[in-house]
Amino acid sequence: MQNPIRVTVWNEYRHELVNPKVAAIYPAGIHAPIAAHLQAQGMVVRTATLDEPEHGLSAEVLEQTDVLTWWGHRAHKEVRDEVVDRIQQRVLQGMGLIVLHSGHFSKIFKRLMGTSCDLKWRENNERERIWVIEPGHPIAAGLNEHFEIPQAETYGEPFDIPAPDTLVFVSWFQGGEVFRSGCCYHRGKGKIFYFRPGHETLPIYYQAEVLQVITNSVRWATPVDGPKIHFGNLKPPLEQVLREG
């Protein structure tokens, strides 16, 4: 029997403590509905937040994490570089990383992408239509060909990221913008998925389709057993080398 997926749901957890509107929507934090849904899918879930020691992401926690989900917004610069280094190393070793909404500006996502990850944005609570453009991809399982978020923060291209290995979703917004909203990457042995929806003042993380995508992406990003990779000097060679002369 396969072991359950071990997920750490990370949330900056600042808006909820200072903004009554956010607290009314997410009284236990943005991480709470995500964690509860993943746990209901049979996953082993823990949460971690910015103000915990080591941001809740000690070496021991990360070693026990198959997939890390990340939500941050107002305090990206407060994430300690040594923790970012630790996460990056775990991703290269195979841990999955799911980056949500404004996490595009997180230190870890920018580090792994190697670009500014900047974009255009507008807060008008406009309608968003998310189109599935890779219907055979595991992250799109159980969805219709598109779904809508009634009110969302608008993001717009250009989005300064490398071309995704696979682009699963594209968003259209009521104001006319389009955006690459579901992007898959591989770094080392790890899988990374960026998923756009999730503004803090809107109840997006209660929407069934959004939670379905997060669930699917966690399953997709779960490490797969593969060959151990060795770097360095090749001694001895795999084949006999015949030298002339």
pLDDT value at residue 232: 84
Domains of the chain, earliest start first: 6-118+179-221 (3.40.50.880)
Q: What is the mean pLDDT of residues 104-110?
A: 98
pLDDT value at residue 217: 98
Q: Is the dihedral of CA 196, 200, 201, 204 positive or negative?
A: positive
Per-residue b or e along 30-54, where b marks 16 or more CB atoms closer than 10 Å to that residue's CB? bbbbbbebbeebebebebbbbeeee
Q: Order across the sheet with 44-49: list the strands.
A: 44-49, 6-11, 67-71, 96-100, 190-195, 178-187, 166-173, 120-132, 146-156
> pLDDT-based confidence at 245, cuts 50/70/90?
low
Q: What is the mean pLDDT of residues 159-181?
A: 98
Instruction: Say if residues 191 and 221 touch (Cβ distance below 8 Å).
Output: yes
Question: 96: which strand partners?
Answer: 67
Tokens of 31: 């991480």
Question: 95: which strand partners?
Answer: none
> pLDDT-based confidence at 4, cuts 50/70/90?
very high
pLDDT in tens, 47-70: 999 999 999 999 999 999 999 999
pLDDT value at residue 58: 98
Instruction: Say if residues 149 and 128 touch (Cβ distance below 8 Å).
Output: yes
Give me Rg for the CA atoms of the chain: 19
Question: 183: which strand partners?
Answer: 167, 194
Instruction: Say if residues 153 and 184 touch (Cβ distance below 8 Å).
Output: no
Q: What is the DSSP string of 197-228?
A: ---TTS-GGG-HHHHHHHHHHHHHHS----PP
Q: Which residue has the tokens 């500014």?
A: 116
Local structure of 124: helix, strand or coil: strand
Instruction: Say if residues 111 and 81 touch (Cβ distance below 8 Å).
Output: no
Alpha carbon distance 192, 83 (integer Å): 17
Helix extents (H) in the chain: 15-18, 20-25, 31-40, 59-63, 81-93, 107-113, 208-221
Consecutive H or E run containing 184? strand 178-187
Local structure of 111: helix, strand or coil: helix
**Weakest-pLDDT range from 36-45, 142-151, 220-229:** 220-229
Q: 11 pLDDT exceeds 90?
A: yes
